[in-house]
Amino acid sequence: MGAMIEVQNLTKWYGRTLALDQISFTVEEGRIVGFLGPNGAGKSTTLRILTGFMPPTSGQARVAGRDVLAEGLAVRRSIGYMPENVPLYPEMRVDEYLALRAGLKEVPAGKRRAAVDRVVERCWLTDVRRRLVGHLSKGYRQRVGLAEALIADPPVLILDEPTIGLDPAQIQAVRELIRSLGQKHTVLLSSHILPEVERICDHLVIIAQGRIAAAGSVDDLKEGLAEAQRIVLEVHPGTGGDGPAEVARALGQVTGAGEVRREEAGGGWLRLTVQPVGNADLREALHAVVTQRGWRLREMRREAPTLEELYVRITAGEAAADRPAA
Amino acid sequence: MDKVLLLTRREIASYFVSPIAYVAMALFLVITGFFFALSDFRPGAPAAMRSIFDMMMIILVFVLPIITMRALSEEQRSGTIETLLTAPVTDVQVVAAKFLGSWVFFLAVLAPTLLYVVVLAAFGAPDLGPIASGYLGLALLGSAYVAVGLFASSLTKNQVIAAVTGFVILLMLAMVGPWLASLAPPPWRDIVQQAAIRTHYLDFTQGVVDGVHVIYFVVLTVYALFLTVKVLESRRWR
């Protein structure tokens, strides 16, 4: 298992706009990797560079061990690409189009028929294979795009927003199809919707503002977040005279505790959030402080930020970073 | 080569399902038919097609850009250029196929005018030599016009702009050229004269096939196609 896609310090300027800023990531063979980021983060730009449609301003990209610039044709032979919005020729019939693409992708003339039959069946296009592409619904067009990407059975599949614009049943079907491709193909698919990618992919590359914000397996990313588990507790200082500030200070002095936030929870109750330094479990130590001081405790729980929160923070960070510029 | 033929076939097929191509075809046949009836097919006129061949140089300036306008601009507008150019094909293959497709369609548009030859033969005794050379000239003229039209089509996503750009370039070459030559001072006169389409086209209609003229049209075609490839490649540094 080697790296099927290697991206190193890729930078792309559109005129004076910086679209990609030194991004690097790799995709191992046989993996399904989600390329996640808000709209305009640079996802499509990256995919277009990988497929040889446009060159990077600087940096290097290799697919199946070949440089996308120096060996463009060889790279394109090894990729099945579905661009965003699936551009198709409306005046062609579905099977005519797929046969044309099979020819362009060097499927031998004698095998084109079989190749078309295979992808038509695989992408549930049997009912529409003689229809004009221009008459198809969005969902069917999306499937034609997928069928086209699969026609020459390439080792690498690059799919730009494969499930956008589909209804829930179709999303489900496309999701299953892509998952089933993972055994034979390396898949890189982009999306701006986290739950979507989380269901299909076991690895994520999160991009925001032209930079890689996080990358790794979904499990690793979650584990990284679990280490940052914070503890929320609700305490009543009682009549001992300890003020809210004193409560927060005392809890903050527990070994391993970091920042403590406090807020009023009504009726004299305080809600405190203790952020641990490292991945220490502070529950017992915090409880000890509370009983020793004679405070009342009505709730204590651990809270792990979800992947969704991380993603929102990344995209919100972008919004915050945008503000001073505007 | 295999891929060029595949793409050419798609190109030709797309013309035959396009209403605009039929409009251009009808326009061309109506206008040429009109002039044929008016000037060549009259009692007392020589049984030849000279005047209609002359006219076609002008008529095609307006008809061919309509035929070629969508070839590359529509691919850019709809985004299919991205699927096309990320397949394992080169820019040269794509442009060659676009050219062949449009040129073959042009020849198909021209084919019904062979009826005029039949009509002339039925009512007179036409000299077939100049007619054959005239058609050769038309095929070459058409290839240059198609190449220029493709170049115009590569520049924009908008079909109308592509057509107008094509008209303007062809008008310069076909009509303004000779007029400019008559104004230019002597050393320049010859150069402008030699660059103009008319200088090289008219001999064909008179039954003269000169190698220089053939080379002129071939070079013009190749040069316009070369520029088209460069425009496609320019996405790499734009």
Pick the residue from chain A with its C-alpha nearest to B4: A104
Q: How many residues does chain A have?
A: 326
Q: Output the CATH code of domain A229-303.
A: 3.30.70.1340
- Of the pLDDT bands very low, low, confident and very high (cuts 50, 70, 90), residue A111 is very high
On chain A, the residues whose CB falls within 8 A of the CB of B10 are 89, 92, 100
Residue A224 or B62, more confident: B62
User: What is the tally of structural domains in chain B?
Assistant: 1
Do the beta carbons of residue A218 and residue A31 sit within 8 Å?
A: no
Q: Among A231, A170, A101, which residue's Cα sits nearest to residue B80?
A: A101
Q: Which amino acid is at A195?
A: P
Whole-prediction pTM value? Answer: 0.84
- What local confidence, expressed as pLDDT, does residue A188 receive? 94
Q: Among A208, A260, A272, which residue's Cα sits nearest to residue A236?
A: A272
Rama region for A76: left / alpha / beta (φ>0; ψ in -120 to 50; rest)? alpha
User: Quick check: A55 contacting B, CB < 8 Å?
Assistant: yes
Contact state of B79 with A87 under an 8 Å Cβ cutoff = yes
- What local confidence, expressed as pLDDT, does residue B223 receive? 96
Q: What is the mean pLDDT of residues B29-36?
A: 89
On chain A, the residues whose CB falls within 8 A of the CB of B87 are 76, 101, 104-105
pLDDT in tens, A163-210: 887 888 888 888 888 888 887 899 999 988 888 888 888 899 999 888
- How close does chain B come to A88, measured CA to CA in Å? 6
B180, pLDDT greater than 70: yes
Residue A14, beta-bridge partner list: A17
- pLDDT, mean over chain A: 86
- What local confidence, expressed as pLDDT, does residue A317 receive? 64
pLDDT in tens, A213-222: 888 888 888 7
pLDDT in tens, B33-77: 888 888 877 777 777 788 888 888 989 999 999 999 999 999 999
Helices (runs of H) and strands (runs of E) counted in chain B = 13, 0
Q: Which amino acid is at B221?
A: T
Lowest mean pLDDT among A105-109, A151-155, A317-321: A317-321
Place of tokens 């040429």: B32
Spell out the domain ranges in chain A: 3-217, 229-303
**What ipTM score was computed for the predicted complex, to two decimals?**
0.86
pLDDT in tens, B192-226: 878 888 888 888 988 888 899 999 999 999 999 99
Q: Which of B78, B82, B237 comes nearest A53 by C-beta?
A: B82
- Of the pLDDT bands very low, low, confident and very high (cuts 50, 70, 90), residue B122 is confident
On chain A, the residues whose CB falls within 8 A of the CB of B79 are 83, 85, 87
Listing from the earlier edge strand, what are the strands of the sheet with A257-266? A257-266, A269-276, A230-236, A296-303
CATH architecture of residue range(s) A3-217: 3-Layer(aba) Sandwich (3.40)
CA distance B180 to A281: 89
Q: What is the mean pLDDT of residues A6-12?
A: 93
Contact state of A83 with B85 under an 8 Å Cβ cutoff = no
A270's enclosing H/E stretch is: strand A269-276
Q: Which residues contact A157 (CB under 8 A, 6 or more apart)?
A: A79, A80, A81, A82, A149, A150, A181, A185, A186, A187, A188, A189
Q: Among B171, B165, B172, which residue's Cα sits nearest to residue B149?
A: B165
Do the beta carbons of residue A1 and residue A30 sit within 8 Å?
A: yes
- For residue A101, CA distances in Å to A64, A113, A174, B65 come to 21, 12, 21, 28
- What local confidence, expressed as pLDDT, does residue B99 receive? 97
B104, pLDDT greater than 80: yes
Q: Among A151, A326, A30, which residue's Cα sits nearest to residue B87?
A: A151
Q: Which amino acid is at B72?
A: L
Pick the residue from chain B with its C-alpha nearest to A51: B86
- What local confidence, expressed as pLDDT, does residue A322 receive? 44
Contact state of B88 with A81 under an 8 Å Cβ cutoff = no
A238, pLDDT greater than 80: no
| Distance linking the first and last C-alpha atoms of chain B | 29
Pick the residue from chain B with its C-alpha nearest to A87: B80
- What local confidence, expressed as pLDDT, does residue A1 receive? 54
CA distance A5 to A159: 14
- What local confidence, expressed as pLDDT, does residue A321 receive? 45
Residue A310 or A286, more confident: A286
Please report, rounded to a whole number, the percentage of residues in chain A having pLDDT higher than 70.
Answer: 95
Structural domain boundaries, residue B178: 2-236
Tokens, residue B195: 């660059």
On chain B, the residues whose CB falls within 8 A of the CB of A87 are 78-83
- What local confidence, expressed as pLDDT, does residue A326 receive? 30
Rama region for A136: left / alpha / beta (φ>0; ψ in -120 to 50; rest)? beta
CA B196 to the chain's CA centroid: 15
pLDDT in tens, B143-162: 999 999 999 999 999 999 99
- What local confidence, expressed as pLDDT, does residue B172 receive? 87
- Of the pLDDT bands very low, low, confident and very high (cuts 50, 70, 90), residue B168 is very high
